[in-house]
Each structure stands twice: as C-alpha cells, then as structure tokens.
Amino acid sequence: MSATSRLSPIIAPSLLAADFGRLREEVAAVERGGAHWLHLDVMDGHFVPNISFGALVLKALRPHTQLAFDVHLMIAPADPYLADFAKAGADHVSVHVEAGPHLHRSLQTIRDLGLKAGVAINPATPAESVRHVLDLVDIINVMTVNPGFGGQSFLDSQLSKIAELRRMITETGREIRIETDGGIDPASAPRALNAGADVLIAGSAIFGKPDYAAAIAALRASG
Ligand code: DX5
Ligand code: ZN
C-alpha cells in the first residue's frame, strides 16, 4: 500500500484517556472534532492487570453519540458477556486471541449478534494465530503496547506483524481493517499506516491534548 494511494485513516479515540467524570462531554467533543469511531477498552483485572468499565457505561453513552462503538474486550472469559455488549450498543466487538481456547466460537457469536467481529493480538502473539479465522473477521486489532494501560510507548517490533497481516488479508480478498492500538501519536502513526494499518486508535494523543479537533486532524494528516 503506497503512501500516495492510501485513503485517509479511520480515527478512533480511546475513551480510556478521557476524563471519567465528564464522559458524555468528552465523547461529544471528539465527535465534533472529527472522530469516526469511539474505542472502548473493557478490562477485567484478570486478563489484564487493570479494571476499566463495562457494558453499563456503553449503555449510558449510547443515546448521546452517533459514533460507532468499537469495543475492545480485554476480559477472560469473553463469551458470557458478548450479548450484554451487543445490547448495550456495541457496533464492533474484538476479543483477544489469548483470552480463551475457542476464538472461532467467540467470533461466530459476535457475528450472530449482528455485529462486526474483531480479533485483538498481543505483542508476543504471531500473525499466524488468526490465519484460520480470517473468514469470520472484520477487524484485526494489533496491540502496539502491552494491553492494560494507556500512555505507553509504541512497539516498533509490531510493524512487521502489521505488514504480514496486510499480506494475509490481501490473499483472502476480504475487506478487513487493521487497527493499531497503543502508543499512537503523529510520530508513530505514519509508521503503522505505512506497514498496512488503516485504523488509528489513540488515547493520550487525543484526550491528553487541549484541542481534540487539532489532535485528530494531526493524526489524520499523518496518513
Ligand atoms: C491499552 C488499550 C488502548 C489504550 C491506548 O490496553 O487497548 O486502547 O487506551 O492508549 P494510548 O493511545 O494512550 O497508548
Ligand atoms: Zn484498546
């Protein structure tokens, strides 16, 4: 994918870096600022060493925004909660390859709920781990930090994985988005996009800035 032919990337602010005392206003501000999706990081203190929020927070925000809810489940097990997230207003749900033994079943369940199905991959997990479920996947979330916390540095070691996944996707002929999640800012974003990502998830680089619209524009321009 050359830099010249590339379409402008999807920008998905990660709510994890927002002011939790003002969630509704924070979501409205990124929506006004030009975000395409809202990325929601659900953490259970078990699969990852941190706890964030669950389906109730999605449900509370759902009436207040048109943004697609891109839900990243860092929970194990995930299957018992998939219907709850669908009911709460998720549009896309991603489960981790590492979160359970039955990834294929989880992805089928997400599709049966009428949602876009995503799979997230930790930094140490190879691209090959998703090859045999690509027929069920709409989104691949390549973790470019260890999951659990915002504000970490982008892992350059993941660029070759993004490129490998892009080649695998091209072979399938299916339209599958590649998200890069963690440490994305205007310096790291072009590297991820050049490797083949087309969705930029960013927490600190948007909610940590005084002007969200300018921060989103800077990320979009980096593509
Ligand atoms: C980390 C989350 C990310 C995180 C990104 O576990 O999956 O979505 O919020 O935060 P930044 O952009 O600050 O690295
Ligand atoms: Zn995430």
Express each pLDDT in 9-34 by its tens digit. Answer: 999 999 999 999 999 999 999 999 99
Strand partners, 40: 71
**Positions marked active-site:** 41, 181
Domain covering 4-220, topology: TIM Barrel (3.20.20)
Amino acid sitting at position 159: L
Q: Which ligand is nearest to the CA of 14?
A: 1
Residues 121, 111, 39, CA angle at the centre, nearest 5°? 50
Q: How far is the CA of 150 from the centre of ligand 1 (A)?
A: 4
Instruction: Round to the nearest angstrom and report the end-to-end CA distance of the chain.
Output: 12
Does ligand 1 come within 6 angstroms of the Cβ of 203?
yes
Query: What pLDDT does residue 223 have?
Result: 77
Query: Going by CA atoms, what residue is nearest to atom 6 of ligand 1?
Result: 147
Does ligand 1 come within 6 angstroms of the Cβ of 9?
no
Rounded to 10°, the helix 23-32/212-221 angle is 50
Q: Tokens for 47?
A: 């699969």
Of the pLDDT bands very low, low, confident and very high (cuts 50, 70, 90), residue 192 is very high
Query: Going by CA atoms, what residue is nearest to atom 9 of ligand 1?
Result: 150
**CA 104 remoteness from chain centre:** 19
Express each pLDDT in 139-185 by its tens digit. Answer: 999 999 999 999 999 999 999 999 999 999 999 999 999 999 999 99
Query: What pLDDT does residue 4 have?
Result: 43
Q: How far is the CA of 16 from the centre of ligand 1 (A)?
A: 7
Mean pLDDT of 182-195: 98
DSSP string, 50-62: -B---HHHHHHHG
Express each pLDDT in 122-141 by its tens digit. Answer: 999 999 999 999 999 999 99
Q: How far is the CA of 97 from the centre of ligand 2 (A)?
A: 14
Express each pLDDT in 55-113 by its tens digit. Answer: 999 999 999 999 999 999 999 999 999 999 999 999 999 999 999 999 999 999 999 99
Query: What pLDDT does residue 151 have?
Result: 98
Query: What pLDDT does residue 1 have?
Result: 44
Mean pLDDT of 184-189: 98
Query: What pLDDT does residue 122 have?
Result: 98
Residue-range domain boundaries for the chain: 4-220
Q: Ligand 1, residue 141: give the atom nearest the CA.
A: 7
